[in-house]
Structure 1
Amino acid sequence: MTFKQVELGRTGIMVPQLAFGAMSFGGMFGPTDEETSHACLDAAVEAGITFWDTANIYGMGVSETVLGRYLADRKPDGIRIATKASIIPGPNRRIDNSYDYLRAELEQSLDRLGLDSVDLFYAHRHNQETPIENVAETMGRLIDEGLIRSYGLSEIAPYTLRRAHAVLPVAAVQNEYSLWTRLPELGLIQTCAELGTSFVAFSPVARGMFGEASVRREDMREGDFRLSNPRFTEPNFSQNLGKVAEFRAWCRARGWTVAGTALAWVMAQGDHVIPIPGTRTAAHLREWLDADRIELGPQEMAEIAEILPVGWAWGDRYGDHQTVSIERYC
């Protein structure tokens, strides 16, 4: 299977329009093990999903280590790797966009990944006290040093993208986007298209809500991000489950997977829009694989909009305690 190839920004780097997010390998949504993670990556390679995204804080290096060992053991062809840094977790969580910090973290990431450079390196969040122009200049230095091929920004506003892009073209912006999180439609996706920047959509299957089985709070492990998320707490959660059930029935009536349809909808927003779903298992990854075969014409898009109209989700995508360093513009 081969997903449509698209250009990453205007870098000349070609990637499949469906990517893979490796956050779950770090245990963010429950325990996992390297054997299971490597089986998941085997399924990704088999499916032609060869653009993989990770970060230094996913399991505090665990995700990158899992990917690095896989690359060393399997030596798959054509893998494109993106990683991120900027977030310093802990009780006094903060954001560091300085050259010294980003370079030091990048070197550690490269060591864990077993690579000399990565195709894409993101500033995971923007520290408002650091002019974004300085961040762009830092990324330019890392490109000149041969440590990264391109750079991106995450959870930013359109004006931040424009400022950074004026200094050095931004290859990708990674923000949350899905059938239940539509904020990027209010300017960011359009700005990316105008500037030739890829828009990488994280959580495109709504943190598991658009899966074949219904999400249950009792299945979430202690520490699961979703347990304190407004959309997964009552009364919001039950309302959201009901709407997703309608969408699930609509997909199944057409013989489509729920995840595949949700991903096809995201990809239908433009060739520059690259969804980046994540999972811990090969079985869940295979639920995505009809995404490139699902054709959503005007009739299908209208029916989806009737079931899940803009703004249908109950609750904010983040609670107040989860919004540190998230740029808001609407």
Structure 2
Amino acid sequence: MKQRTLERIGRPVSVVGLGTWQLGADWGEVTEADALAVLEASAEAGVTFYDTADVYGDGRSERILGRFVAEHSDAGFMVATKMGRRAEQVPANYSEANFRSWIDRSRTNLGTDRLDLVQLHCPPSEVIDDDRTYDVLDRLVEDGSIAAYGVSVETAAQALSAIGRPHVASVQIILNAFRAKPLDEVLPAAEAAGVGIIARVPLASGLLSGKYHLNTTFAADDHRTYNRDGSAFDVGETFSGVDYATGVEAAREFSELVAESDLDITPAQAAIAWIAHQPGVSTVIPGARNVAQAQANAAAGVVAELPASFLEGVADLYDRRIRAQVHARW
């Protein structure tokens, strides 16, 4: 597994990490035993970076991850959690008192005195642009509650605002073959500033695996069922904001492109490798609901190179099928 260093923290992370939303909630049921098996498989495959949030399963993901990390205390894992969605996402709720309350809860869930990396969890733009936000986060670093902080964002404009802050260690943003806008400005700006980029939703909620069809159904408690209209949270988090029918057809083309390129990897692995090969990306965080998925995702972290014809084909597919739906919106 390739490693890259989060420059402002000075810590190496695996180029393919693991997102643990699936292990908490909103993707159908995953038992605790299965969740721990996914974590073990990822670690055995070389994953050292784990992303969670205090709201995934109301803390379930953090608690399971904390138990796993405690059992591997010498492994050097880095855990990034997120805060800010335990209350209504209005600027007034992003107060120092709430920050400390949320952080204390995450420290308890994860079983640690100091959190490795805390990210604001897609807050309003006003919070990202406010000097007071970073004053509070700096105090939390100074008193040892957190080692570093970053911002998880929905839009490129929010990412650029956060990158301009001197102590922001990382920006987490949706980046995949169906959401390529961060390539324009965000990745170059982050690389120039030494800010890490954590790429989430790498498979467009599974679309890029090429396994879905128009009649595929998802569990009632799966966000791919209940959030297609964005009624629960930003619709960009579900299928990357792409209309499902369009996404299924575009994913079929993506799978054909992988086959034509003789990559000898699955479409999902090609999608992850495509992100990992973008200059400025620190780590990609696909999720996994079972051991096989965790192993396959991690294997994408050792793909040496991608042919120019494949990269050109992905760009063409995005321009023809996807750009009009998502590029201007996020």
- State TM-score, norm by structure 1: 0.85
The equivalent of 1:149 in structure 2 is: 147
Matches within 5 A, 1:102-117: 102-117=99-114
Contact 1:135 1:164 in 2 (8 A): no
What code does the residue aligned with 2:308 have? Answer: P
Compute the displacement of 1:281 (Å).
Answer: 1.2
The answer for unaligned runs of 5 or more in structure 2 is 230-237
Q: Is 1:229–2:228 an aligned residue pair?
A: yes
Compute the displacement of 1:311 (Å).
Answer: 5.9
The equivalent of 1:11 in structure 2 is: 9
What code does the residue aligned with 1:247 have? Answer: F
Compute the displacement of 1:219 (Å).
Answer: 3.2
Contact 2:172 2:197 in 1 (8 A): yes
What code does the residue aligned with 1:115 have? Answer: T
In 1, distance between residues paired with 2:224 and 2:323? 14
Compute the displacement of 1:53 (Å).
Answer: 0.4
The equivalent of 2:233 in structure 1 is: none
Q: Is 1:269–2:269 an aligned residue pair?
A: no
Deviations 1:97-140 (A, max 9, x none): 22211111111101111112122111112344545311111111
Contact 1:182 1:311 in 2 (8 A): no
The equivalent of 1:28 in structure 2 is: 26
Deviations 1:13-60 (A, max 9, x none): 111111110011112110111100000011110111110000001111
For structure 1, which segment, 156-165 or 266-275, has the greater mean C-alpha deviation from structure 2 after superposition? 156-165
Number of corresponding residues: 314
Matches within 5 A, 1:92-171: 94=90, 96-130=93-127, 131-155=129-153, 160=158, 164=162, 168-171=166-169
SS in structure 1 of the partner of residue 256 of structure 2 = helix
Compute the displacement of 1:240 (Å).
Answer: 2.1
The answer for unaligned runs of 5 or more in structure 1 is 319-327
Compute the displacement of 1:67 (Å).
Answer: 0.5
Q: Is 1:248–2:245 an aligned residue pair?
A: no
What code does the residue aligned with 1:24 have? Answer: Q
| Counterpart among 186, 189, 204 of residue 187 in structure 2 | 189
The equivalent of 2:268 in structure 1 is: 259
In 1, distance between residues paired with 2:74 and 2:26? 26
What code does the residue aligned with 2:315 have? Answer: A
For structure 1, which segment, 140-149 or 152-161, has the greater mean C-alpha deviation from structure 2 after superposition? 152-161
Higher relative contact order (CA 8 A, sep 6+): 2
Q: Closer, same or farther in 2 for the Cα pair 1:139/1:58, shift >3 Å? A: same
What code does the residue aligned with 1:36 have? Answer: D
Contact 1:136 1:168 in 2 (8 A): no
What code does the residue aligned with 2:276 have? Answer: M
Contact 1:266 1:273 in 2 (8 A): no
The equivalent of 1:312 in structure 2 is: 321
Q: Is 1:282–2:256 an aligned residue pair?
A: no
Contact 1:143 1:149 in 2 (8 A): yes
Q: Is 1:213–2:223 an aligned residue pair?
A: no
The equivalent of 1:52 in structure 2 is: 50
Contact 2:197 2:283 in 1 (8 A): yes
Compute the displacement of 1:218 (Å).
Answer: 4.4
What code does the residue aligned with 1:83 have? Answer: T
In 1, distance between residues paired with 2:252 and 2:154? 32
SS in structure 1 of the partner of residue 202 of structure 2 = coil
Contact 1:133 1:164 in 2 (8 A): no
Identity of aligned residues (%): 26
